[in-house]
């Protein structure tokens, strides 16, 4: 598909890019600014969509709060206290922050059910989810990429065939059910995993909160016992997510590696007598972009998709927070979680695209 000239001149392109570092830098900077601007618009768009969609659906959060048999007086009082008696535009202004505190100042409002600040609710639950998802990705990539590389070396081999089946299988599986089965097997039968009841043993005192990431906090405060206890509680959820995630990553690694291995520039490097190591390195580097892109998409998906795993293991993360928000019709909390998850996904996409620029000089040249 690609023009031959381009493939043969990767080294040349690299040289050009190297010579034009200054141009490259300003280009990258303007690209980042543009992306941040677009991301800002997207987040604003999503905020608006969520705001209007949940208000246009036939649900009655007031009745949910005061009960369906309440007197009209009580009902109207509750409605007024939630601010729902005002016009939708006033409500929107209040949410965005025209009166001085709102989304633009980082204030996501107050939960209708608990009365506590949504910002602090998200701030305490988000690190738990991020920690789980990030570690699962580290484990999944550490397992999946080497396997994918190995299968790409011998396409059609026995390993390749069985790994292909696994990749297809694990790509779409009910992770909550696998989590339950793993708990049954590893905790109930073998006893080599803790009961799925949170981040720490019930009697363990949590380390002082600094970052909110329990693994980091326990190290910062010198609580080695809490660190290992948290790891002990995390290994099964991490393995469950990694089991699901590694499927698509293996598939993509294999595909991408195989394509690069059969490309002309690898043939050219071989013909030029480069060492196996050098060839392997440039192959892996050239096959990284699609793998990273997929990882980014999976990451965005997993921030919301970890909901079920958090629920099974009673980890009180953002997923569990959003379930409570949705089932209680707690509109400020729903808006807050969706907004935060979207922003994080957008940031991840941006970081990945920047990494791609540095891996693949052709992207910068465009």
Partner 1 sequence: MAKKSVKESAVFKKALWYHDRLLLAGVIIVSLALFLSVFGFMIAPYDPGTPVGPISQAPSSQHWFGTDSSGLDVFSRVITAPRIDVVLSVSAALLSGLFGTLIGLGTGFYEGRFSSLVMRISDVLQAFPIFILAMVLVALTGRNLVNLIFALTFLYTPIFVRLTRTEVLTQKTRTYVEAARATGNSEWRIALKHVLPNSLTPSLIQLSVTVGFGILLTAGLSFIGAGVRPPTPEWGLMIATSAPRLILGEWWSSLFPGIAVSLTVFGFAALGNALERRVGSA
Binding site for partner 1 (CB under 8 A): 42, 45-46, 49-50, 53-54, 57-59, 165, 168-169, 171-174, 176-178, 180-181, 183-184, 188, 195, 300-301, 303-305, 307-308, 311-312, 322-323, 326-327, 329, 334, 337-338, 341-342, 345-346
User: Per residue, what are the HEC states of 207-244?
Assistant: CCCCCCCHHHHHHHCCCHHHHHHHHHHHHHHHHHHHHH
Query: Measured from the CB of residue 264, what is the shortest distance to partner 1 in angstroms?
Result: 21
Q: How far apart are CA 283 and CA 207, in angstroms?
A: 44
For 117, list phi and psi in degrees, rounded to 5: -70, 135
Count of H-run helices and E-run strands, the chain: 17, 0
Query: Measured from the CB of residue 57, what is the shortest distance to partner 1 in angstroms?
Result: 4
Cα–Cα distance list, 8 to 119, 201, 272 (Å): 52, 58, 12
Query: Measured from the CB of residue 338, what is the shortest distance to partner 1 in angstroms?
Result: 6
| Structure tokens belonging to residue 35 | 């992306």
Q: Which is nearer to partner 1, 284 or 297 (CB)?
A: 297
Q: How far apart are CA 105 and CA 128, in angstroms?
A: 24
Query: Measured from the CB of residue 145, what is the shortest distance to partner 1 in angstroms?
Result: 21
Query: Measured from the CB of residue 126, what is the shortest distance to partner 1 in angstroms?
Result: 13
Q: How far apart are CA 336 and CA 130, in angstroms?
A: 16
Q: Which residue has the tokens 């738990």?
A: 128
Q: Which residue has the tokens 């990284």?
A: 288
Q: How far apart are CA 253 and CA 257, in angstroms?
A: 6
Q: Which is nearer to partner 1, 265 or 321 (CB)?
A: 321
Q: Which is nearer to partner 1, 19 or 181 (CB)?
A: 181
Q: Which is nearer to partner 1, 39 or 93 (CB)?
A: 39
Query: Measured from the CB of residue 26, what is the shortest distance to partner 1 in angstroms?
Result: 27
Query: Measured from the CB of residue 15, what is the shortest distance to partner 1 in angstroms?
Result: 35
Q: Which is nearer to partner 1, 192 or 195 (CB)?
A: 195
Cα–Cα distance list, 190 to 1, 42, 175, 198 (Å): 53, 48, 21, 19
Q: Which is nearer to partner 1, 142 or 192 (CB)?
A: 192
Q: Which is nearer to partner 1, 267 or 327 (CB)?
A: 327
User: Per residue, what are the HEC states of 170-182?
Assistant: HHCCCHHHHHHHH
């Amino acid at each position: 598909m690609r023009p031959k000239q381009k493939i043969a001149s990767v080294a040349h392109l690299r040289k050009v890019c190297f010579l034009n570092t200054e141009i490259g830098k300003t280009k990258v900077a303007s690209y980042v600014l543009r992306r941040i601007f677009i991301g800002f618009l997207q987040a604003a768009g999503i905020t608006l969509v969520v705001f209007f969609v949940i208000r246009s659906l036939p649900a009655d959060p007031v009745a949910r709060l005061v009960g369906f048999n309440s007197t009209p007086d009580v009902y109207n009082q509750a409605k007024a206290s939630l601010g729902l008696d005002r016009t939708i535009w006033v409500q929107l202004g209040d949410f965005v922050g025209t009166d001085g505190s709102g989304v633009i100042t980082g204030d996501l409002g107050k939960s209708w059910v608990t009365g506590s600040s949504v910002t602090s609710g998200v701030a305490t639950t988000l690190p738990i989810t991020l920690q789980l998802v990030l570690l699962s990705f580290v484990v999944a990539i550490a397992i999946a990429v080497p396997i994918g590389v190995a299968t790409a070396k011998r396409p059609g081999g026995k390993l390749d065939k069985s790994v292909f089946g696994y990749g297809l299988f694990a790509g779409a599986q009910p992770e909550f059910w696998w989590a339950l089965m793993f708990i049954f097997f590893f905790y109930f039968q073998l006893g080599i995993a803790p009961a799925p009841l949170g981040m720490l043993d019930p009697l363990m005192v949590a380390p002082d909160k600094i970052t909110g990431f329990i693994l980091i906090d326990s190290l910062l405060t010198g609580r080695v016992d809490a660190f290992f206890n948290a790891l002990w509680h995390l290994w099964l959820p991490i393995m469950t997510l990694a089991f699901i995630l590694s499927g698509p990553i293996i598939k993509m690694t294999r595909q991408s590696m195989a394509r690069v291995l059969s490309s002309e520039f690898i043939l050219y490097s071989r013909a030029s007598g480069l060492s196996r190591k050098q060839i392997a390195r440039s192959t892996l580097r050239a096959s990284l972009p699609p793998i990273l892109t997929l990882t980014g998409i999976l990451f965005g998906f997993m921030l919301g998709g970890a909901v079920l795993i958090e629920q099974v293991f009673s980890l009180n993360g953002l997923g569990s927070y959003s379930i409570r928000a949705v089932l209680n019709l707690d509109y400020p909390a729903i808006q807050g979680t969706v907004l935060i998850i979207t922003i994080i996904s957008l940031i991840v996409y941006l970081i990945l695209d920047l990494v791609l620029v540095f891996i693949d000089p052709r992207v910068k040249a465009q």
